Structure 1
Amino acid sequence: MSGAKVPAISEAVAQQAADWLTVLMSDEAGEQERRDWLRWREMDPEHARAWAHIEAFSQRFGSVHKGAAVQALAGAARRPASGKRRQLLAWLGVAGGAGLLAAQGGARDGARTLLADYRTATGERRDIALADGGMVSLNTASAVNLRFDGRQRRIELLAGEIMIVSGHGAGSDRVGNDAPLVVATREGLVRALGTRFSVRQLDGESRVAVFESAVEIRPLDGAGAPLLLPAGRSATFTRQYAAAPQAVEAYADAWSRGQMIVDDVTLGEFLADLSRYRPGLIHCAPEVVRLRLSGVFPLFDTERILNMLPNSLPVQVRSRTRYWVSVEPAP
């Protein structure tokens, strides 16, 4: 039916599809990898739609960049976190964790992410000193543009998640002491009121968590006064409105210290969050998805985290390939 709305593809499935594209074009891909890929594609209709989108973009760019794209992807597949791999995924409209978008805007977002001032690969974290003495930390698969001059202090979040510590240190006179610090997302603006806070770009919405002082949230197409969000509260917002504030999740800022801290969460929730920090797919068997765990884990070594799971839970970790890990009941 013409005019039917195409269901959105989630960020997690988009990244899985991009990772499978990397695997299949690598020198390491064999019959087992292809069987695993087919199993993944047939596992869920959303997986099939994501792969169809990948193929459509591949064909579109193939007519112009086919040789260069294949060469870049083949080399990048041997280095999953490399800049070349991220560039190719950006050409396909899936870089930076922004997700596969059905609209043409997905390609534009991918290109902007590719050209961002600062980016991080999957599993990478990076701290950037700001001209006013503050700091912005980029979480995994994130991208930002910075605009600090005599008229503005502006951070444009293109993909992923950032932690901001505002400041007026040495050199702040060159960027304008009176200019408010603003974070721009696809859904609107977050204005800092002397604070430490995080902003995450999700599919169709942005999420803000405040750890010190307060921020103002102004949706792009919203009417009325901005939402004042104080310390200890978080909120999501779309282009039209901001949702009711909630308490900040415990340890929500742990990633900025290179840690993943959980307290009595399900194994399924834990692995879903962990998958943001490593390329490929982490599958959790239904028999163990509701097991619960707590702990402090180092995000710089996701392989070590997975290998530690059998020490505290009745599970086994099987690596079908370097990109496909399955957590299953212990034998």
Structure 2
Amino acid sequence: MSAVTEAAGPMAIGEDVQQQAAEWLTVLMSDEASEAEHAAWQRWRGADPEHERAWQHIEAVSQRFNGLHRSAAAQALAGTQQKAVNGKRRQLLAWLGVVAGGGMLAAKAGAWDGVRALRADYRTATGERREVVLGDGSVLSLNTGSAVNVRFDASRRLIELLAGEILITSGHGAGSGAPLVVATREGQVRALGTRFAVRQQDDYSRVEVLESAVEVRLRSGGAPLLLAAGRGVAFSRHALDAPHAIGAYAAAWSRGQLIVDDVTLGDFLADLARYRPGVIDCAPAVSQLRLSGVFPLADTQRILNMLPNSLPVQVRSRTRYWVSVEPAP
């Protein structure tokens, strides 16, 4: 089943104006914008009716956004590490799901449909995890920052993954005769009596099979891929990567743990950043250090504080929402 796409209406806003409105939002959210910047913003709004229309829509949607506090977002977007800033800006704007007329103001591949995510049947905030038992007895676990819609009827059991990551243990109760399918932006994953995880990332999806098997179909069509237990695969709308063996602790997050075995510090911090608001910046000089361990996700600050005990690093908090991991003095 194809995901619903909102068509652009007659008042659709140009992509360049979308980006300009997005940039002005991030500047003004910092609470550090100068008088000159405020004046320039007002001039930009008055220069073209399309500018004002874009601003009104982005502000209206941002006021409905309740998954990230404005001051927290501002701190996440503040600072001098431009690469990290841009990444958080993209994440924030994706969450805002800026709407223009009947269409999407920020309709890029990999961006959340923020309005739908906010209205999703089930969702979690950053750092939150949740478990839901569905009508057929299937158990649905949502990882941090996730959102799904569930559509079960006599002919289908459809879970639409709007954002984040889920773990499904398929049930055998009423209605379980219908196919159980997880739909992402890039394709569909059909359960074959199984336990599996699906993650929606910026421009691709990923599935990992813990028990039994799944069938993966791309949005663009073509022959499906049968994926067995212990295997995972990433896929775009048009192509499947080569299947690979999954780690022994692939679903540790569902138990509240982050378990790593000889991974780089940079990769570890990138994963940890999913579970806390703001930015974790890893200095290139220490990004290739390696670590192993079992870490409780309930307290990400404690994890950061423990790093200097095992690695030659220091953890500096520029603000509550901006943490840097750097070489030890």
TM-score, structure 1 normalization: 0.72
| Counterpart contact for 1:93–1:109, Cα < 8 Å | no
CA distance in 2 between counterparts of 1:91 and 1:328 reads 24
CA distance in 2 between counterparts of 1:91 and 1:276 reads 11
Q: Match of 2:213? A: 214
Offset of residue 288 of structure 1: 1.2
CA distance in 1 between counterparts of 2:91 and 2:283 reads 33
> Pairwise CA RMSD of aligned residues?
3.5
2:323 alignment partner, SS class: strand
Q: Match of 2:232? A: 234
- Specify whether residues 180 and 217 from structure 1 end up closer, same or farther in structure 2 by C-alpha distance, changes over 3 A only: same
Q: Match of 2:307? A: 309
- Specify whether residues 314 and 240 from structure 1 end up closer, same or farther in structure 2 by C-alpha distance, changes over 3 A only: same
2:160 pairs with 1:156: yes
Offset of residue 202 of structure 1: 1.5
- Specify whether residues 68 and 276 from structure 1 end up closer, same or farther in structure 2 by C-alpha distance, changes over 3 A only: closer
2:149 pairs with 1:167: no
Cα shift readout 1:92-133 (whole Å, capped 9, x = no counterpart): 751299xxx996357882222122111111111111111111
1:194 alignment partner, SS class: coil
Q: Match of 1:247? A: 245
CA distance in 2 between counterparts of 1:125 and 1:66 reads 29
Q: Any gaps of 5 or more consecutive residues in structure 1?
A: 10-16, 35-56, 81-88
CA distance in 1 between counterparts of 2:164 and 2:61 reads 27
| Counterpart contact for 2:129–2:141, Cα < 8 Å | yes
1:274 alignment partner, SS class: helix
Q: Match of 2:46? A: none
| Counterpart contact for 2:29–2:71, Cα < 8 Å | no
- Specify whether residues 234 and 108 from structure 1 end up closer, same or farther in structure 2 by C-alpha distance, changes over 3 A only: closer
| Counterpart contact for 1:217–1:242, Cα < 8 Å | no
1:269 alignment partner, SS class: helix
Cα shift readout 1:204-245 (whole Å, capped 9, x = no counterpart): 221100000000001121223x11000000011222232221
Q: Match of 1:46? A: none
Cα shift readout 1:54-76 (whole Å, capped 9, x = no counterpart): xxx99655325747846978x93
Q: Match of 2:40? A: none
Q: Aligned letter for 1:234?
A: G
Q: Aligned letter for 2:208?
A: A
| Counterpart contact for 2:62–2:96, Cα < 8 Å | no
Residue 259 of structure 2: which of 261, 266, 274 is its match?
Answer: 261
CA distance in 1 between counterparts of 2:112 and 2:305 reads 39
CA distance in 1 between counterparts of 2:64 and 2:184 reads 33
CA distance in 2 between counterparts of 1:272 and 1:133 reads 34
| Counterpart contact for 2:94–2:112, Cα < 8 Å | no
- Specify whether residues 252 and 64 from structure 1 end up closer, same or farther in structure 2 by C-alpha distance, changes over 3 A only: closer
CA distance in 2 between counterparts of 1:66 and 1:188 reads 32
Q: Any gaps of 5 or more consecutive residues in structure 2?
A: 1-14, 35-49, 74-88, 98-103
TM-score, structure 2 normalization: 0.73
| Counterpart contact for 1:96–1:143, Cα < 8 Å | no
Residue 127 of structure 1: which of 117, 124, 131 is its match?
Answer: 131
Offset of residue 150 of structure 1: 1.9
CA distance in 1 between counterparts of 2:137 and 2:243 reads 29
CA distance in 1 between counterparts of 2:198 and 2:184 reads 9
Q: Match of 1:190? A: 189
- Specify whether residues 65 and 275 from structure 1 end up closer, same or farther in structure 2 by C-alpha distance, changes over 3 A only: closer
| Counterpart contact for 1:96–1:141, Cα < 8 Å | no
Q: Match of 2:141? A: 137
CA distance in 2 between counterparts of 1:135 and 1:322 reads 35
2:122 pairs with 1:118: yes
| Counterpart contact for 2:93–2:106, Cα < 8 Å | no
2:65 pairs with 1:62: no
2:70 pairs with 1:77: yes
| Counterpart contact for 1:136–1:162, Cα < 8 Å | yes
1:131 alignment partner, SS class: coil
Give % identity.
Answer: 62
2:98 pairs with 1:104: no
CA distance in 2 between counterparts of 1:271 and 1:180 reads 37
